[in-house]
């Protein structure tokens, strides 16, 4: 590993400590929105792909990334936004998904299918079986297509009767 | 005016005005779930607005960013279709407006993912994922309320009959649209309209609602800046702060 590669590796590790502001148990790296880290001279360039176009957390995330790298002594940090390919929950790490469950949010249950050209996503089909993050039962029901943030839907467990958030496949 | 700039304004303004209208229902939705859904859809549309208007500002090249384009243009410079400035009305009106909008928006965005313009392609691909979800939700609710009680059925049918004349403007292409089609930037009208009509017909049939006439006369003018009186009121509220306190920021 060259010194440069080691530097980049180190930055990834630091970013792995930056929590998502809405769901603090997962990091921005777990969430899959950090797409690239590189150095341009002394400046560290971090490429971020936003989750939802209107996600109000993006500004906070950008500030948190800058702050984390400043704390570790990197003075020049440049953030770049990349729209394509669009963010998908398929980029979420397995450890991130496990952390979501532990936090009471059911993680995305399937691969976000490529809908281009198929138009399969525009009619409501049988909802995927989502396990309750509290009691593990698959006996659950969709309450609301949208939850507390754009990335989540509301479910309720018919077994333990607890409501819970479900991180939608996207 | 540059045709691409005008076309990008249309994309941005449609999303912006509908977002603003939906925001007015925040805290007033007929049920908590609907309240959250409307606000989330509004948020997605606002995010899409920023991407379109930022690009529009760059294409125009006169230093206007997304905020200046949103807050400092008057009604006659807005390029949204008249559909999105129709009143929120009852929930049937809000929902039917959303369903007609989402149906068109989805197929347009799908077409734009094959645009010859890379930036438009990227924005469309990102937006399409969100719009897919919007359309699934609004279509699902149209079915549930259309095929619901006698009262909900009657209200949905009345809303559809009232709003139908605003559903065709997007497919009536003018010089700007034709220039975009010629450059491979936008999809042609007729194919888009057929996709829209097929989807709307399928959902309405399941909702036991009668499809209005395909030959109905359609309202037009919004894309060229000729709007209903309502847009002025919408902008008055949306732009007040920046008009009264220019440059004010958080």
Residue B173: how many other CB atoms lie within 10 Å: 17
| B136/A122 CB distance under 8 A | yes
Overall average pLDDT of the B2-31 stretch:
96
Structure tokens at A135: 């009691």
pLDDT of A168 above 60: yes
Residue B171 · residue B230 · CB < 8 Å: no
pLDDT at B70: 98
Percent of chain A that is helix, strand, coil (3-state, to 5):
25, 20, 50
Structure tokens at A128: 């995927």
Residue A96 · residue A31 · CB < 8 Å: yes
B126 neighbourhood in chain A, CB within 8 Å? 53, 83-84, 86-87
> β-strands A77-81, A43-48: how paired?
parallel
Q: Which of residues 137-176 of B touch A (CB under 8 A)?
A: 137, 139-140
> For A146, which of B40, B129, B132 is closest by C-beta distance?
B40
Residue A51 · residue A20 · CB < 8 Å: no
Interface probe, candidates A117, A145, A169, chain B, greatest B C-beta count within 10 A = A145
Same domain membership, residue A64 and residue A12: yes
* Domain containing residue A147: 90-167
Overall average pLDDT of the B5-23 stretch:
98
Distance from CA of B21 to the nearest CA of A (A): 16
Same domain membership, residue A23 and residue A72: yes
Same domain membership, residue A10 and residue A68: yes
pLDDT at B66: 96
Same domain membership, residue A108 and residue A53: no
Task: Enter the DSSP assignment of B185.
Answer: S
Same domain membership, residue A94 and residue A76: no
Residue A118: which pLDDT band, with cuts at 50, 70 and 90? Answer: low
Structure tokens at B62: 């006169």
**Burial of B175 per CB tally in 10 Å (0-12, 13-18, 19+):** exposed
pLDDT at A145: 86
Residue B12: which pLDDT band, with cuts at 50, 70 and 90? Answer: very high
Same domain membership, residue A95 and residue A77: no
| List of residues 6+ apart from B229 with CB closer than 8 A | none
Name the average pLDDT for chain A: 89
Residue A150 · residue A55 · CB < 8 Å: yes
* Confidence check on the interface: ipTM exceeds 0.95, yes or no: no
Whole-model pTM: value is: 0.93
Structure tokens at B241: 């702060």
> β-strands A152-157, A163-167: how paired?
antiparallel
* B123 touching A (Cβ < 8 Å): yes
Same domain membership, residue A69 and residue A24: yes
Per-residue pLDDT tens over the stretch A21-55 = 989 999 999 999 999 999 999 899 999 999 988 88
Structure tokens at A145: 């297509």
A86 neighbourhood in chain B, CB within 8 Å? 122, 125-126, 129
- Cis status, amide bond into A85, omega within 30 of 0: yes
pLDDT at A114: 54
Overall average pLDDT of the B221-230 stretch:
98
Q: How many domains does chain A have?
A: 2
Per-residue pLDDT tens over the stretch B21-46 = 999 999 999 888 899 999 999 999 99
pLDDT at A4: 86
Domains located in chain B, CATH noted: 3-244 (1.20.1260.10)
pLDDT of A116 above 60: no
The torsion of the CA quartet B130, B134, B139, B144, rounded to 10 degrees, works out to: 130
Per-residue pLDDT tens over the stretch A128-158 = 789 999 999 999 999 888 888 888 999 999 9
């Amino acid at each position: 590993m060259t010194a440069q590669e080691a530097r980049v590796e180190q930055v990834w590790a630091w970013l792995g400590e930056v929590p998502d502001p809405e769901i603090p148990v997962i990091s921005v790296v777990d969430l899959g929105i950090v797409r690239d880290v590189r150095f341009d001279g002394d400046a560290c360039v971090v490429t971020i792909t936003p989750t939802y176009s209107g996600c109000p957390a993006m500004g906070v995330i950008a500030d948190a990334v800058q702050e984390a790298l400043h704390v570790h002594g990197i003075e020049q940090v440049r953030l770049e936004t990349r729209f394509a390919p669009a963010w998908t929950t398929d980029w979420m790490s397995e450890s991130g998904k496990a952390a979501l469950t532990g936090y009471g949010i059911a993680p995305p249950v399937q691969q976000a299918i490529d809908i281009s050209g198929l138009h399969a996503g525009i009619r409501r089909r049988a909802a995927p079986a989502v396990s309750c993050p509290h009691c593990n039962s698959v006996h659950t029901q969709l309450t609301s297509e949208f939850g507390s943030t754009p990335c989540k839907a509301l479910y309720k467990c018919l077994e333990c009767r607890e409501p819970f958030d479900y991180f939608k496949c996207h | 005016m540059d045709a691409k700039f005008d076309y990008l304004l249309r994309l941005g303004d449609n999303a912006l005005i509908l977002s603003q209208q939906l925001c007015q229902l925040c805290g007033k939705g007929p049920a908590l779930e609907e309240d959250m859904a409307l606000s989330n859809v509004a948020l997605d549309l606002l995010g899409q607005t920023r991407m379109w208007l930022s690009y529009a500002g760059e294409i125009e090249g006169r230093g206007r960013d997304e905020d200046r384009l949103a807050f400092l243009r008057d009604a006659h410079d807005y390029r949204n279709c008249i559909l999105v400035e129709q009143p929120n009305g009852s929930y049937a009106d809000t929902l039917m407006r959303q369903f007609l909008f989402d149906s068109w928006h989805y197929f347009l965005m799908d077409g734009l993912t094959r645009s010859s313009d890379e930036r438009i392609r990227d924005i469309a691909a990102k937006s399409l994922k969100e719009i897919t979800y919007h359309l699934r939700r609004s279509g699902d609710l149209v079915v549930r309320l259309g095929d619901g009680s006698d009262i909900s059925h009657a209200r949905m049918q009345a809303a559809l009959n009232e709003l139908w004349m605003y559903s065709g403007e997007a497919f009536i292409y003018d010089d700007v649209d034709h220039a975009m089609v010629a450059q491979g930037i936008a999809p042609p009208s007729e194919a888009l309209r057929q996709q829209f009509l097929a989807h709307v017909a399928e959902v309405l049939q399941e909702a036991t609602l009668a499809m209005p006439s395909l030959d109905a006369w359609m309202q037009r003018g919004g894309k060229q800046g000729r709007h209903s009186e309502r847009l002025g009121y919408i902008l008055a509220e949306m732009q007040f702060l920046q008009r009264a306190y220019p440059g004010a920021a958080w």
